[in-house]
Amino acid sequence: MSKLILKFQGVFIKEYNLDKPSLTIGRKDDNDICIDHMSVSGHHARIDNKEDCFTITDLNSTNGTFVNGKKIATAALKPNDWITIGKHILYFK
């Protein structure tokens, strides 16, 4: 099963299994992955899973969403990609 590993300044915070067709990332409590930091928008990004093909979409966030250091609107995810959301990094495994 694919997963995301959340880190802040290199320190492990939490691991998330990607077991839903879609999940959201953001600062608000109604997100599947909640990151309580001012650099993260309320609803920052969404990850979609279609038959084990994962994509990430920026939800018009203030600071943008980055995959492997490149700002994206939507991007396919591959194992070992790293996603920057605000000042946090999510590693796709």
Would you list the domain boundaries of the chain?
Answer: 3-92
- Digit-coded pLDDT (tens) for 34-64: 999 999 999 999 999 999 899 999 999 999 9
- Domain 3-92 class in CATH: mainly beta
Question: Can you point out the beta strands (E) in 51-92?
Answer: 53-58, 65-67, 70-72, 74-76, 82-85, 88-92
**Secondary structure letter of residue 80 according to DSSP:** T
Provide the whole-model pTM. Answer: 0.94
pLDDT band, very low/low/confident/very high, at 88 (cuts 50, 70, 90): very high
Mean pLDDT over each residue of the chain, to the nearest integer? 97
Q: What is the mean pLDDT of residues 15-21?
A: 96
